[in-house]
Amino acid sequence: MQLLAVPMASSGGGGITLLLPLILIVGMIWFMSRTQKKQRQRQADTVAALAPGSKVVTTSGLVGIVEETDDEYVTLEISEGVLVQVVKAAIGRVIPEETAADEDSAADEATDEATEDAADDATKVDVPDTGKADGKVQDAPKLPPTHTEN
């Protein structure tokens, strides 16, 4: 019996197929680190811009007004006469202040809309929607109970 050695066919691009996944992994790591760097810079800018009188929200959800800032800590007034000291890194975001003129105009618009809505409600007639497949009006979804009843 005679055995013949036949060379196996190779795919020719062996080096590039091994290199492509490595390039993709390095690219993903670089992109994620760049995104994290931007987030850290944004946080540092927020903390650096803190001034007394600014309304802030901490990362744990505590809302307060900045009373004073140190190198490492921020003193917040969370209620009248109640001061809390938190680490600067715990400041999540600064709530923008609304001016008195904006609040007055918003209140005027709300009263105007309420007056118009009351006038419109008096002239409207509640007609069930018959365009549904079964012709029934669907009730609004009910919220779960907020307490247990004994």
Give percent above pLDDT 70 in the chain. 60
The model carries a pTM of 0.46
Residues 57, 72 contacting (CB under 8 angstroms)? no
Question: Would you kindly state where each structural domain of the chain is located, as residue ranges?
Answer: 17-95
Give the pLDDT confidence of 126-142 residue by residue, as tens digits: 555 555 555 566 666 67
Of 6-10, 32-36, 74-78, the least confident: 6-10
Sheet holding 55-58, edge to edge: 82-87, 73-79, 63-69, 55-58, 91-95
Q: In the predicted model, what is the mean pLDDT of the chain?
A: 76
Q: Which residue has the higher pLDDT, 112 or 42?
A: 42
- Round to whole Å and give the CA distance between 141 and 105: 34
* Domain 17-95 part of CATH 2.30.30: yes
Task: Give the residue-averaged pLDDT of 82-94.
Answer: 90
